[in-house]
Structure 1
Amino acid sequence: MMLINPKADIPIIQISILKNQNAAQHYEIGKVLYQFRKDAVAIFGSGLSYHNMKEFKKADPENEKEIVNVDFDNFLNDVCTGDEENRKKIIFWDQQKGGLDCHPLGEADHLMPLIVNAGAAGMRPGKKIFESVFLGKFKLSGFMWDEK
């Protein structure tokens, strides 16, 4: 946060995700946090849209020819940039094509912050603010919701 605000004159409170990685519960936490957004509190979530450590370790950037998580990245884009009703589908991330390949069961801790933020999004659709290909094989995306 020092990079965003070097004066460090804004209070920051860190909260943890739940150990259970229950997407519905994380979404509900976000809905509660939305109340703070009404008071101009910013909510940040960190993580990755793809986080399969076994596949990261096997990747050979010099020889990769195909992005492996296009379907799941498209799903995330659709739900995060859709309306509130569509966004709720993020709760079922593990039933989507490629979902469990991108975030194996028990290792979805890097996806849960996005689900919390989706719950805290309010009425407006989000927008994709970041897209990159990591190791020539894994598409990574970032999303943001604002009230403007």
Structure 2
Amino acid sequence: MIHPMFLCHGAPDLVLEDNEYIRLLKEIGKSLKPKAVVLFTAHWETEVTAISAVEGTYDMIYDFYGFPAELYRIKYPAKGSPELAERIKSLLKEHEISSNLDHSRGIDHGTWSLLSLLFPEADIPVVQVSINPFRSKEEQFLIGEALKPLAEEDILILGSGSTVHNLGALNGNATEPESWAVEFDDWIIDRVERLDSEELFRYQSLAPHARHAVPREEHIMPLYTAMGSGRDRTPKLLHRSYAYGTFTYLGFEF
């Protein structure tokens, strides 16, 4: 069994850096050999859950601007798995969750930035799944629950997003994280480690600085999916660090 994970994908140029988080991701990748990866990406939003059913190699999506030119030359030739996409659709249907197959969308940086560090050989099939930031946290959690059987089949379920994600609060000169970002993550980490899903569902009204830390919920939603797909074990905090004062690099294993 491979335990589900939630990993912050950070800024697109994360893949060009060398830091403790990068080194951890590389070590995690070396320790795992999943049959496939099912990745919920914060950079793919649809009203109804969409599942990538690409046959062959994905196209690259560079969904950002203003970064170094070398970032736009990165290629990660991941291959899809229409068979696994169909299985995911079937599992969701068993739980009365609607979904659609997508046969053409490429991989966005929420996907390739993490996978190029975890599995640089691009030799593991990948299925992306969309999120809906306007869906309730409970619903996103249930989507993860529906996919629990995949972990028993050595398929890695990975939520790619962030906890603190306020682009307007980034500070390129910061050498220490902002206290409000730390306090928000303290609260999230505590509830995740205690598997307190009920409070996590209501984090917007309970967590300190929640509205400032998460002005829009697309990046935190994959956390709920990853947590829902866990096997009722004590979650493990894999890493915590910050960039630009508020950008969280956080990792959980469920």
Q: TM-score of the superposition, structure 1-length normalised? A: 0.79
Cα deviation code 1:101-144 (max 9, x no counterpart): 1101xx11010011111111121111111111222355542211
Q: Is the counterpart of residue 69 in structure 1 residue 170 in structure 2?
A: no
The answer to whether the aligner puts 1:97 opposite 2:208 as a matched pair is yes
Q: Which runs of 4+ in 1 moved over 6 A?
A: none
Pairing partner for 2:136 from 5, 18, 22: 22
> 1:4 & 1:65 partners in 2: Cα distance?
26
Q: Distance in 1 between matches of 2:234 and 2:213?
A: 24
Write the distance in 2 (CA, Å) between the matches of 1:139 and 1:9.
Answer: 28
Contact 2:177 2:242 (8 Å CA) reproduced: no
User: Comparing both chains, which one has the higher relative contact order based on Cα–Cα distances under 8 Å and sequence gaps of 6 or more?
Assistant: 1
Cα pair 1:21 1:108 within 8 Å, conserved: no
The percent identity for this pair of structures is 27
The letter of the residue matching 2:225 is V
Q: 1:4 to 1:137 in 2, by over 3 A?
A: closer
Matches within 5 A, 1:33-48: 33-48=147-162
User: Which sections of structure 1, spanning at least 5 residues, go unmatched?
Assistant: none
1:111–1:66 distance in 2 versus 1, CA, 3 Å = closer
Q: d(CA) in 2 for partners of 1:79 and 1:68?
A: 17
Provide the secondary structure at the position in 1 that maps to 2:142: helix
Q: 1:67, CA displacement in angstroms? A: 2.4
The structure in which a higher percent of residues are strand is 2
130-139 or 117-126, which moves further after superposition? 130-139
RMSD of aligned C-alpha atoms?
Answer: 2.3
What TM-score, normalized to structure 2? 0.49
Q: Which amino acid aligns with 1:128?
A: L
**Cα distance between partner residues in 2 of 1:60 and 1:5:** 29
Letter in 2 for 1:115: Y
Separation in 2, partners of 1:54, 1:116: 26
Structure 1 residue 2, shift from structure 2 partner = 4.2
1:24 CA drift (Å): 1.3
Give 1 or 2 for the bigger CA radius of gyration: 2
Residues paired across the two proteins, number: 139
Note if 1:111 corresponds to 2:225: no
